[in-house]
Amino acid sequence: MKHIPNLLTLANAICGMMAIYFIVNANNTGLAIALIAAALFDMLDGWAARKVGGSSELGKQLDSLADAISFGATSGFLWSSILADYAKVPQPWAMLVGASVTAASVYRLGVFNLRESVAIDFVGMPTPANALFALGLWSWMGRWDNWEWIMALEGSQLLIWHIALVSIAFYAIYWQNASFQVLSLKGGGDTRRKIGQYTLVGILAVMILFFGALSISIVVFLLPIISAFALKSKA
């Protein structure tokens, strides 16, 4: 029984490798399933650890290593594809920016491992949310009806598009280790915090009807703003 949490963590890492495979093969459905499965295993390993008698130092290290693959490396590959395929950034520069996103994720996970206590909410953008942000952009841009107008951009319009995507990529590097608080979906807290959680879920439910996969990126982008309201009493 004591090995179940670690097995769930390793399943997270396996899903991360599958996600990278699906990125390389431009398989939106496979990637979405792999990343969501990785996120589920990431939640379940902690739950299982508590059920079998607490977490271990090995489990803590394995969890961060698995997250580095599933959400760190995956987000880097996603950003490399976004910049190379949709912003026309030449390689190896697109991959260098993507690798920087991964490096920021790895740094965040390393800092997290050194913390003695874990708060109910986050400081900086969590690596799973960062990966989902990139997933939403990548999946939305890969739709044929969006692909057509994106590929038709020329001149100043293409330059603006290019700068916008590169700027968002650098923000994804910054926000993982930023000092602002980010609301989690865990229970507990005051009424303001619960309203923030309901608002977050409600916005996603409405926006997904109109924007599809892009709604994931929009909600993650709005997360620090909603968190500033929901966690104001804790500042």
Q: Are 140 and 212 in contact (CB under 8 A)?
A: yes
Instruction: State the DSSP H helix or E strand holding residue 181, giving kind and residue range, or none if neither.
Output: strand 181-182
Q: Model confidence over 105-125: pLDDT tens digits?
A: 999 999 888 876 667 889 999
The partner residues of 123 in beta bridges, in order of sequence, read 181
- With 90 as the cut, is the pLDDT of residue 42 above it? no
* Fold that domain 4-234 belongs to in CATH: Four Helix Bundle (Hemerythrin (Met), subunit A) (1.20.120)
Neighbours of 41 (CB within 10 A): 22
* pLDDT given at position 168: 94
Q: Write out the two tokens for 111.
A: 């800092």
- Extents of the domains making up the chain: 4-234
- With 60 as the cut, is the pLDDT of residue 22 above it? yes
Instruction: State the DSSP H helix or E strand holding residue 123, giving kind and residue range, or none if neither.
Output: strand 122-123
Q: Model confidence over 144-196: pLDDT tens digits?
A: 777 777 778 778 888 888 889 999 999 999 999 999 999 888 777 778 888 88
Mean pLDDT calculated for residue range 82-89 = 86
Confidence of residue 11 (pLDDT cuts 50, 70, 90): very high
Of 187, 170, 188, 185, which is closest to residue 227 (Cα–Cα)?
185
* Span of 88-102, 136-150, 153-167 with lowest mean pLDDT: 136-150
Q: What is the pTM of this model?
A: 0.87
Instruction: State the DSSP H helix or E strand holding residue 122, giving kind and residue range, or none if neither.
Output: strand 122-123
Who wins on pLDDT, 187 or 104? 104
The mean of the pLDDT values for the chain is 87
